[in-house]
Amino acid sequence: MFSEAFSDIYAKRDNSLTRADARIKVVFAVVLLLLNLWGGTALSLFIFAGSLLTLIYLRIPAKTLLIRLLEPFGVAGVVILVKLYFIGWSGLPEGLAIASRILGAVSLILLLSMTTPVDALLKALSWFRVPRTWTDVALLTYRYIFVLLEDAYVVYSAQRVRLGYLGIGRSFQSLGTLAGAIVIRAYDQAMATSQAMRLRGYAG
């Protein structure tokens, strides 16, 4: 199923990185994120390449990595195009610098998420005295990502059966319908979850 590409099944494999203490990995990731933010383009690209090579070494499927990196690559490409459009070729170095930081940061988070189960990561955040409200929201967000992905897959499958993606025009129309349906479903689910939590005495 499509949602498997976003689950933490790879974080539950037995290897040297998954066995490492989650608190150490969180500190390591934060330090590298700061270096990625304040360092140069070369350092950000080095972090990106190192994280990607580590994931490949851990035998993460290329298809899974591609799915998770499609959006960051898209954002990085848009940043470069915007810089070129408004500033010209002189804005290319700045665009590349921002794009490299985006890819470096995303690759670090990807490495952390694919080597640390969600429960271990949330325990580490609690140990660092992260407010419980934040961890509660993070847990609920993670839980309902897969609910929404399954809903999206059902709508997408129904659209494909009805030839909703035959041609560019119909594809864009179907994607718009799919996006609208998921937004409405997310809102309805949020209201239902909030009401259920209040009924159970949650006051966070």
Domain boundary among 64, 99, 126: 126
The band of 93, judged by pLDDT with boundaries at 50, 70 and 90, is: very high
Q: Render pLDDT for 127-186 as a digit per residue (tens, 0 to 9).
A: 999 998 888 888 888 888 888 888 888 888 999 898 888 888 888 899 899 999 988 988
Q: Which residue has the tokens 């070729």?
A: 89
Mean pLDDT, residues 66-76 = 92
As a whole number of Å, the CA-based R_g of the chain is: 20
Domain boundary among 126, 152, 184: 126
Cα dihedral 97→103→104→107 (10° resolution): 180
Q: Render pLDDT for 77-88 as a digit per residue (tens, 0 to 9).
A: 999 999 999 999
Q: Render pLDDT for 94-116 as a digit per residue (tens, 0 to 9).
A: 999 999 999 999 999 999 999 99
Determine the straight-line distance between the first and last CA of the chain, rounded to whole angstroms. Answer: 34
Mean pLDDT, residues 44-66 = 93
Domain boundary among 89, 106, 126: 126
pLDDT at 22: 94
* pTM over the 0.85 mark: no
Please enumerate, as own/partner, the contacts of 69-77 that have beta carbons within 8 Å and a separation of 24 or more. Answer: 69/106, 69/107, 69/110, 72/102, 72/103, 72/106, 73/103, 75/102, 76/100, 76/102, 76/103
Looking at the structure, tell me whether residues 142 and 49 fall in a common domain: no
For residue 172, the enclosing domain spans 131-199
Q: Kindly report the average pLDDT of the chain as a whole number.
A: 89
